[in-house]
């Protein structure tokens, strides 16, 4: 579910509530969402820890805790992290609750249960493998037309599958990669190495633009996504191609088509995207 703009929005919405707060207790309803620690130990370690910082890397949220611990969270397809007060009814599919000294709670609710959290401290690697091996952060200064060219260089694979691959660029998912390719006027099946410098420049601009616009809109709420305070995003109203099969292209009026690429439905305009 959540791609970079959604995770960034969740981070911003939770920061005022959790950063500076101390975890007073943990309720584990589904131990399977915790990797690297047994539920009991997980609760024991977290109790009394203060949250020093909340950061995002790719689609991960990272809680930096006291005593050198970190808690990294991936929300999968449908995961939500919600800040609620302890009186609120516990909804179905709530897997984990962190209680805070402010009497608020951080609740992890995830219908499809693909989301996971990873606690690291003494002895265990600081980050889960998926997080440790993430590629460039697309809204950081390290991401430039030149570094994008490096990534693209000599790769035969389709641009769509390359953009979805978190080892190269971190944070794009199915929605924003389709929107970026549309913005750049590039067909999702084009082999990466075949791009001209000019097209790489357009792709770079388009990636940065869709991610920034996504954040500015508070993310894309098609089904499940809401931020840490339960607020929906607005970017679903600004999508050019994603989910718009058989509808007219907003640029040229041609009918938008879809294709399966790397197992994901990809939307594009056959006239605008070459």
Q: Which is nearer to DNA, 130 or 145 (CB)?
A: 130
Helices and strands per DSSP (H, E), number in the chain: 7, 11
Applying CB under 7 A, among 120, 164, 203, 272 the residue interacting with DNA is 164
Q: Which is nearer to DNA, 23 or 134 (CB)?
A: 134
Kindly identify the residues of this chain, within the stretch 43-62, that bind DNA according to CB under 7 A.
58-59
From the list 11, 57, 59, 160, the catalytic residue is 59
Cβ pair 72, 60 in contact under 8 A: yes
59 in active site:
yes
By C-alpha distance, which of 21, 170, 18 is closest to 108? 18
Verify binding: residue 265, DNA, rule CB under 7 A: yes
Applying CB under 7 A, among 70, 158, 240, 273 the residue interacting with DNA is 158
Verify binding: residue 175, DNA, rule CB under 7 A: yes
d(CA 178, CA 184): 10
- What is the full DSSP assignment across 117-164? EEEE-SSS-SS-HHHHT--B-TTSTT--HHHHHHHHTT--SBHHHHHH
Taking the complex as a whole, how short is the minimal distance between the CB of residue 192 and DNA, in angstroms?
7
From the list 2, 128, 138, 188, the catalytic residue is 2
Q: Which is nearer to DNA, 65 or 241 (CB)?
A: 241
Positive or negative: CA dihedral 68, 47, 96, 9: negative
Residues with Cβ < 8 Å from 149, sequence gap 6 or more? 197, 200
> In terms of residues, how long is the chain?
274
16 in active site:
no
Residue 225, CB half-sphere, CA atoms under 13 Å: how many? 24
Verify binding: residue 214, DNA, rule CB under 7 A: no
Taking the complex as a whole, how short is the minimal distance between the CB of residue 15 and DNA, in angstroms?
20
By C-alpha distance, which of 28, 32, 178 is closest to 116? 32
Kindly identify the residues of this chain, within the stretch 20-39, that bind DNA according to CB under 7 A.
32
Verify binding: residue 161, DNA, rule CB under 7 A: yes
Q: Which is nearer to DNA, 18 or 163 (CB)?
A: 163
Residues with Cβ < 8 Å from 99, sequence gap 6 or more? 23, 24, 25, 26, 27, 86, 105
Applying CB under 7 A, among 9, 70, 105, 220 the residue interacting with DNA is 220
Applying CB under 7 A, among 72, 221, 240, 273 the residue interacting with DNA is 221
Q: Which is nearer to DNA, 32 or 252 (CB)?
A: 32
Size of the site for DNA (CB under 7 A): 42
Residues known to be catalytic? 2-3, 59, 264
């Amino acid at each position: 579910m959540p791609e970079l703009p959604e995770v960034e929005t969740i981070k911003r919405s939770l920061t005022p509530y959790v950063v500076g707060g101390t975890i007073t207790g943990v309720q584990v309803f589904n131990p399977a969402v915790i990797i690297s620690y047994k539920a009991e130990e997980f609760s024991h370690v977290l109790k009394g820890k203060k949250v020093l910082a909340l950061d995002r890397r790719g689609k991960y949220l990272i809680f930096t805790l006291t005593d050198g611990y970190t808690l990294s969270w991936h929300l999968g397809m449908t995961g939500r992290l919600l800040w609620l007060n302890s009186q609120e009814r516990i909804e179905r599919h709530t897997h984990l609750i962190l209680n805070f000294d402010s009497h608020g709670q951080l609740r992890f609710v995830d219908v499809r249960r693909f989301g996971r959290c990873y606690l690291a401290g003494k002895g265990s690697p600081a980050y889960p493998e998926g997080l440790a091996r993430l590629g460039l952060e697309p809204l950081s200064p390290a991401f430039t037309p030149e570094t994008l060219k490096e990534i693209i260089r000599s790769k035969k694979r389709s641009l769509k599958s390359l953009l979805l691959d978190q080892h190269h660029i971190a944070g794009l998912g199915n929605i924003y990669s389709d929107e970026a390719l549309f913005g750049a006027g590039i067909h999702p099946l084009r082999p990466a190495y075949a791009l001209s410098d000019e097209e790489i420049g357009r792709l770079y601009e388009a990636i940065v633009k869709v991610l920034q616009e996504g954040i500015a809109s508070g993310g894309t709420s098609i089904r499940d996504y809401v931020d840490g305070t339960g607020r929906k995003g607005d970017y679903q109203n600004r999508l050019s191609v994603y989910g718009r099969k058989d509808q007219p292209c907003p640029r040229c009026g041609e009918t938008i088509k879809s294709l399966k690429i790397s197992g994901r439905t990809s939307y594009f305009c056959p006239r605008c995207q070459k």
